[in-house]
Amino acid sequence: MGVMCKIRSVLTLVGDVLNKAISFIVFCFLDLLDFILCFVYKVADFFIEAEWKPCYCSSAKEAITGSGKILVSEQGESKVVCLTSSKLQLEDISDTLYSRPSLVTEVSKLTVSELKKLKLDGTIIQSCEKVKKGTVRSTFTINSTIVEMLQGKMVGQQLHPIPRWSDCDCKFCNSWTSSSKDTLFVKAQGPKDKAREDVLFIHGFISSSAFWSETLFPNFSTSAKSTYRLLAVDLLGFGRSPKPTDSLYTLREHVDMIEKSVLDAYKVKSFHIVAHSLGCILALAIAVKHPGSVKSLTLLAPPYFPVPKGEPATQYVMRKLAPRRVWPVMAFCSSIACWYEHISRTVCLLICKNHRLWEFLTKLVTRNRIRTFLLEGFFCHTHNAAWHTLHNIICGTASKLDSYLDAVRDRLKCDVTIFHGKDDEVIPLECSYDVQRRIPRARVKVVENKDHITIVVGRQKAFARELEEIWKGSPKD
């Protein structure tokens, strides 16, 4: 046994070293590829749409002299001026949108840091300090991408037609453009006037309301269907909901649209919340905003990463979520989505714009034996929506989640239940336990042999019964 443990330890160490070495080579190449794609898309946008499309590769310094101080950022806390029809307000945005150093830059900084610790040369250290103070930790930062987007609003111009050339133009993805209502798509099921309780379902990243309506809704008992009004929403930028090209998809925008499209439109007074992955952050924000209305809070795989003191919150969470490793596969996929603006746009161009082809091929290969609602949820979004939502919700709320969880602990009286698949490779199981440490009354249920998706898909009957039990045990009005 001792020999086997040593062999296993050696193999694990060798595998880890190989993973890091291969990852370094791969992501250095991807850094270069993303740099090249930046210019390719600028040229393509100009020739197809007759306008340069700003991206987050733009230098922050250019916007300081040319556009006034619209975005101010300090130590990861960023706000941007936003114009609505009636007022000016500050939007919280994540600095990870425009501060994503290449792998080579990170290694260089790490080397300088190690030299500083060793104190090999006082002169070198002093010069490094000057460079660091002069370029890295500027007090205020202006980002030209957001400046350009907001300037379009200020002069009242339409930024880009819907859809953009790299977005899908099918009727399903753009069904919202034919509606006069500026609201989210909501899949509602249950008694309209006689429902005693309402349930709000919030899906996760690059998903849709079908994640709930095609799995749980058909499996609720007859009693539940006659008691609860089930409201599953497509988040802003996803599914059949609006996908505005000039939106920054901030936490406020997402929460406001859910309130407008669900709570206000359906006259919801008190409600249960069921949320998955990224949707858990929105669920917490809504619960804190409506503490007296939430009857139960059910979170599936909440992406909560406690930030150590002294660490920049947004950057820390981005590195935890997307570690820039080729293995496991989900770590590689999340790294592409987080770190590379133009490579991820290329993925959307190839997959989302051509989703009808991929759906046809899937049905052809499987002989139409499987339902494609998961594919529809995965495909039906724009790069602009996915990119900003990922950074502004998961990374951008890193410094807020502690206060949200504390508010749920202290101000809400409802039950909090957390489900997490033991085999989840997207959000570590430890995240759920970290939530429980913040909210001691929260119950964590680990589901064996299930991952980020199969925690619902494939066990929908069992999960529907579990939800009904949670709702029955909640305080009555």
Which residues are marked as active site?
Answer: 203, 277, 424, 452
Q: How far is CA 187 from the centre of its chain?
A: 21
3-state secondary structure of 277: coil
Positive or negative, the Cα torsion across 322, 323, 324, 325?
A: negative
Q: How far apart are CA 321 and CA 334, in angstroms?
A: 7
**Residue tagged 């733009």 (tokens):** 58
- Among 319, 337, 233, 324, CA closest to 276: 233
**Residue tagged 């249950």 (tokens):** 190
Longest distance between any two alpha carbons in the chain, whole Å: 77
Residue 91 in tokens: 């939007």
Q: How far apart are CA 344 and CA 336, in angstroms?
A: 6
End-to-end CA, the chain:
59
How many other C-beta atoms lie within 10 A of the C-beta of residue 317?
A: 27
Report DSSP state, residue 70: -
What is the DSSP code string of 130-173? HHIIIII--S----HHHHHHHHHHHTT---S-SS-TTS---TTT
3-state secondary structure of 220: coil
Positive or negative, the Cα torsion across 279, 283, 286, 288?
A: negative
Phi, psi of 238 (to 5 degrees): -130, 155
Q: How far apart are CA 200 and CA 273, in angstroms?
A: 5
3-state secondary structure 357-413: HHHHHHHHHCCCCCCCHHHHHHHCECHHHHHHHHHHHHHCCCCCHHHHHHHHHHHCC
